[in-house]
Amino acid sequence: MRHLRDIAHPQFRISVFAWNNKFIVKFENGMLEQTYKISELDVAGPEDVDTLLDPPFLEQVSRRFQEMDADWGASMERNGVS
């Protein structure tokens, strides 16, 4: 997997990779991460990935991180793990 670039964001780290005819966009927030794979055939180039990362999409990524954190916390609580 080849690292292409990082995209600045105040809330989470965004990294773009190229691998196996796909662009991989990875979002990291603390111990959580989300990964999206985009076929190279679906976009003209890696710069088109930026267009897909519009404010509504990034807001959904943020909400999903909140949900993931809540799910993880609930599982830890249910199972007595601190």
pTM: 0.91
Secondary structure class of 43 (helix, strand, coil): coil
Neighbours of 49 (CB within 10 A): 19
Measure the CA–CA gap between 77 and 58, rounded to whole angstroms.
29
Which run of H or of E encompasses 5?
A: strand 2-7
Could you tell me the fold of the domain covering 2-78? Viral Envelope Glycoprotein; domain 2 (3.30.67)
pLDDT in tens, 40-73: 999 998 889 999 999 999 999 999 999 999 999 9
What is the DSSP pairing of strand 32-39 with strand 22-29?
A: antiparallel
Domain boundaries, the chain: 2-78
pLDDT in tens, 21-38: 999 999 999 999 999 999
Measure the CA–CA gap between 43 and 41, rounded to whole angstroms.
6
Residues in a beta bridge with 19? 22
